[in-house]
């Protein structure tokens, strides 16, 4: 609601025939209250700001914002209702050499816009303030001066009211969470059971067939690749490509409008997004957003002027200290947001709170989060951004996931984020890939990653759940491609295969790409099952990349950021072709869900739980049944081991304060190229073991039963999971 003290009718001014009251500086953006709309825009450098109301026929009405408080230019317009399209013209210095790029010939988008409408005319030069050769040194006299109003998108006033129907967040704890990384369009664009008009949209993602698929898997949270309003990169469009991934944000409070099924209706993306969240919550599935607060879509000094650059360039961006005409780039995209400026920090925090309070999302995954930690140059985990998040009563209570690296010096920060945060564990990804492709000297590292990476997180008071475990994600090979290609094949991206990661830690199992060789195909299928088993039975919070449960392939392309096509979309026919893999994924997720020993909230201790007891929580065993020695860990050739997980040694209460007691398991890992006979440990560990999962079987089924001291054949490159059926009274978990 607007502050009535600031919008008294007695202060009313007519501007172009439109009634204008002083309004309020906060909240920023356009805020409809049922009677009119308050507009507020921050610019420290502006000398004049005009609010431009755009009619359906393109007619523009300019209204001078005469009230300025704390560098926020504002007015309240009675009678302005949802659906009104608008923009801003900001007057001030155009002096690139000093870091200023105000240009009133550009109709600028609202940084706090909650919806956008229209398209960018990417072929029109009016979106650019200067000729490229003048971008660093030009003055106001060098402005192209062409008006961009007819060639840019427009901000839209929204109706904030929505019937949430008693919606609530599932608020599922991390140790019960299984994340599914997905793309709104990629998940639904080719689904035959979704109506064609809903494919590629929020409504399509909320369709019962998608929710039923996630529920049947056992997924508890869907992590959406960027849905903040983003720009289609001009260079890509010129090549007939598109910015499919969406890491090119300019609207931090607006859902991307191309994902609405009613794009002709301004602000429909807002209500459709909310309905999608409501549908997921009704099925107890959380919604996490992949957010890009490290850079914007305006790019480097040669990029278009569509919003921040023309409003207050030096406030919103990190400028090069030795040449403010250029941008400091920690992201590889041309610019970096200036997290040192209070108004830029405010934009980020206001955006986060808005998505939680108004859009009901359950958490965020922060793209290139190390950029947000840079106070000056170095990464500082105590930077102002993290202080703000820590004390915020709303943002601090949702899931916060860091991608703990950027492309700048010292940007790789896995394990170094504050205690409130979880992290994409890049070391987990690399280690699991190396182990299953047969790299030497990986056993010790593999054991650490399997048990929650205490070496990374315990020293900061965090628990295993801080490790977001993943082996594949949107960036890189799919799971099927990880076991089918040694090299990337990104020719379709138009960069001569130079883009994308070259060191993938992948193994093609003997042939590059598709093959009719039955043995290689069987090995690849088994390797996929091995990796899924490792991922889902590791301590920490697992994340699956969408389509890996179906064997989705991108034909060896490990960087489909620009491929908005069937190459990147989910091929749902694979649900039939690879039904065994789908059934296997369900089986192993169910095993994790049903047994808390695979999702402990505290790290293993590897010693008796309490004084006087001889009950180990974990033990590492060789294939001969004895405990691993230092020599066993240090052997460069060792690729096989077993881990004993004591369900009676969890030693942590459940959420009701009751002691957790679970079944006890033995997991036999064999990454060798030949079968190995594992000797079951002595009766102190257990009298009899029953097979519950075997990756040698297409669906994971196992009927094996073996006694203490008996032999268990474990196939080449496979995993067998056994459950203890009986235990002796004198068992001490040592062997």
Instruction: Find tokens 């920690």 and name the residue.
Output: 330
Task: Give the Cβ contact number of residue 571 at 10 Å.
Answer: 17
Contacts of 66 (CB under 8 A, 6+ apart): 13, 22, 75
Q: In this structure, what token pair is assigned to residue 72? A: 């926020």
Task: Give the Cβ contact number of residue 652 at 10 Å.
Answer: 14
Torsion sign (Cα): 257, 361, 296, 110: positive
Cβ proximity of 129 and 144 under 8 Å? yes
Measure the CA–CA gap between 196 and 719, rounded to whole angstroms.
42
Q: Shortest CA distance to 558 belongs to which of 508, 468, 491? A: 491
Q: In this structure, what token pair is assigned to residue 389? A: 């998040």
Radius of gyration of the chain (CA): 28
Q: Between the CA of residue 136 and those of 325, 333, 375, what are the distances in Å?
A: 5, 18, 25
The string over 31-67, giving b where at least 16 C-beta atoms fall within 10 Å of a residue's C-beta and e elsewhere, is bbeeebbbbbbbbebbeebbbbbbeeeeebeebbbeb
The string over 383-414, giving b where at least 16 C-beta atoms fall within 10 Å of a residue's C-beta and e elsewhere, is bbbbebbeeeeebeebbbbbbbbbebeebbbb
Measure the CA–CA gap between 400 and 397, rounded to whole angstroms.
9
Q: Between the CA of residue 609 and those of 28, 628, 734, what are the distances in Å?
A: 54, 20, 13
DSSP state of 83: T
| Conformational region of residue 540, where left means phi above 0, alpha means psi within -120 to 50, and beta covers everything else | left
Cβ proximity of 334 and 303 under 8 Å? yes
Measure the CA–CA gap between 662 and 656, rounded to whole angstroms.
16
Q: In this structure, what token pair is assigned to residue 60? A: 């523009």
Cβ proximity of 480 and 528 under 8 Å? yes
Torsion sign (Cα): 623, 627, 628, 629: negative
Rounded to the nearest 10°, the torsion over CA 127, 130, 132, 133 is: 170
Catalytic residues: 367, 403
Q: Would you list the DSSP string of 588-637?
A: HHHHHHH-GGGS-SS---SS-SSTT----SEEEE-TTSSBPPHHHHH-TT
| Conformational region of residue 278, where left means phi above 0, alpha means psi within -120 to 50, and beta covers everything else | alpha
Cβ proximity of 246 and 230 under 8 Å? yes
Percent composition of the chain: helix, strand, coil (DSSP 3-state, to 5): 25, 20, 50
* Beta strands at 221-224 and 179-182: parallel, antiparallel or unpaired: parallel
Measure the CA–CA gap between 228 and 447, rounded to whole angstroms.
38
- DSSP 3-state assignment of 156? strand
Which residue(s) pair with 228 in the sheet? 255
Q: What is the 3-state secondary structure (H, E, C) of 643-699?
A: EEECCCCCCCECCCCCECCCCCEEEEEECCCCCEEEECCCCCCCCEEEEEEECCCCC
Measure the CA–CA gap between 451 and 134, rounded to whole angstroms.
56
DSSP E strand boundaries for 231-369: 249-255, 286-291, 319-320, 323-327, 363-366
């Amino acid at each position: 609601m607007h502050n009535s003290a600031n919008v008294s009718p007695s202060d009313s001014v007519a501007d172009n025939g439109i009634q204008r009251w002083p309004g309020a500086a906060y909240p920023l953006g356009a805020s409809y209250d049922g009677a009119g709309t308050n507009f507020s825009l921050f610019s420290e450098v502006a000398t004049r700001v005009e609010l431009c109301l755009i009619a359906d026929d393109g007619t523009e009405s300019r209204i001078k914002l005469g009230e300025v408080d704390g560098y926020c230019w504002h007015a309240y317009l009675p009678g302005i209702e949802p659906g009104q399209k608008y923009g801003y013209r900001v007057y001030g210095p155009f002096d690139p050499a000093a870091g200023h790029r105000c240009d009133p010939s550009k109709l600028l988008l609202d940084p706090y816009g909650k919806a956008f409408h229209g398209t960018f005319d990417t072929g029109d030069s009016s979106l650019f303030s200067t000729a490229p050769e003048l971008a660093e040194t030009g003055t106001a006299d060098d402005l192209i001066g062409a008006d961009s109003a007819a060639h840019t998108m427009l901000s839209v006033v929204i109706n904030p009211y929505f019937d949430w129907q008693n919606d609530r967040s599932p608020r599922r704890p991390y140790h019960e969470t299984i994340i599914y990384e997905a793309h709104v369009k990629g998940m639904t664009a080719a689904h035959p059971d979704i109506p064609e008009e809903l494919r590629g949209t929020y409504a399509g993602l909320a369709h019962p067939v998608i929710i039923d698929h996630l529920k049947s898997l056992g997924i508890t949270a869907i992590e959406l690749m960027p849905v903040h309003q983003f720009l289609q990169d001009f260079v890509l469009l010129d090549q007939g490509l598109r910015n499919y991934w969406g890491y090119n944000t300019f609207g931090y409070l607006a859902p991307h409008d191309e994902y609405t099924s009613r794009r002709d209706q301004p602000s429909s993306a807002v209500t459709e997004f909310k309905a999608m969240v409501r549908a997921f919550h009704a099925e107890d599935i959380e919604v996490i957003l992949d957010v890009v607060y490290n850079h914007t879509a305006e790019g480097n000094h040669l990029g278009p002027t569509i919003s921040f650059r023309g409003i207050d360039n030096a406030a919103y961006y990190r400028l090069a200290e030795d040449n403010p005409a250029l941008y400091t780039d920690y992201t590889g995209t041309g610019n970096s947001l200036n997290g040192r400026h209070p108004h830029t920090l405010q934009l980020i925090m206001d955006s986060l709170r808005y998505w939680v309070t108004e859009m009901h999302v359950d958490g965020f995954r922060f793209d290139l989060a190390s950029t947000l930690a840079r106070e000056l140059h170095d990464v500082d985990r105590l930077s102002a951004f993290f202080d703000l998040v820590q004390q915020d009563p709303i943002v601090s209570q949702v899931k916060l996931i860091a991608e703990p690296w950027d492309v700048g010096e010292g940007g790789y920060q896995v394990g170094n984020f504050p205690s409130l945060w979880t992290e994409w564990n890049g070391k987990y990804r690399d280690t699991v890939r190396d182990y299953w492709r047969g790299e030497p000297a990986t056993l010790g590292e593999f054991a650490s990653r399997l048990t929650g990476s205490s070496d990374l997180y315990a020293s900061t008071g965090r628990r295993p759940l801080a490790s977001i475990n993943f082996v594949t994600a949107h960036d890189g090979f799919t799971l099927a491609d990880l076991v089918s290609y040694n090299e990337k094949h990104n020719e379709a991206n138009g960069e001569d295969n130079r883009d994308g990661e070259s060191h993938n830690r992948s193994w093609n199992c003997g042939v590059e790409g598709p093959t009719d060789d039955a043995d290689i195909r069987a090995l690849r299928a088994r390797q996929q099952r091995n990796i899924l088993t490792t991922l889902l039975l590791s301590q920490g919070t697992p994340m699956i990349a969408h389509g890996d449960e179906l064997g989705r392939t991108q034909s060896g392309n490990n960087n489909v950021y620009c491929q908005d096509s069937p190459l990147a979309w989910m091929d749902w026919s694979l649900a039939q072709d690879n039904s065994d893999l789908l059934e296997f994924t369900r089986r192993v997720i169910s095993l994790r869900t049903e047994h808390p020993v695979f999702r402990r909230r505290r790290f293993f201790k590897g010693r008796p739980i309490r004084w006087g007891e001889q009950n180990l929580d974990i033990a590492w065993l060789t294939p001969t049944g004895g405990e691993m020695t230092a020599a066993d860990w240090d052997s460069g050739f060792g690729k096989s081991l077993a881990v004993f997980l004591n369900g009676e040694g969890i030693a942590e209460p459940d959420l009701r304060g009751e002691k957790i007691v679970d079944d006890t398991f033995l997991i036999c890992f064999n990454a060798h190229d030949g079968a190995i006979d594992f000797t079951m440990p002595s009766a102190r560990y257990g009298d009899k073991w029953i097979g519950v999962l075997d990756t040698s079987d297409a669906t994971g089924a196992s009927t094996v039963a073996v006694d203490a001291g008996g032999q268990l054949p474990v196939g080449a490159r496979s995993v067998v999971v056994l459950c203890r059926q009986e235990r002796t009274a004198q068992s001490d978990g040592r062997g």
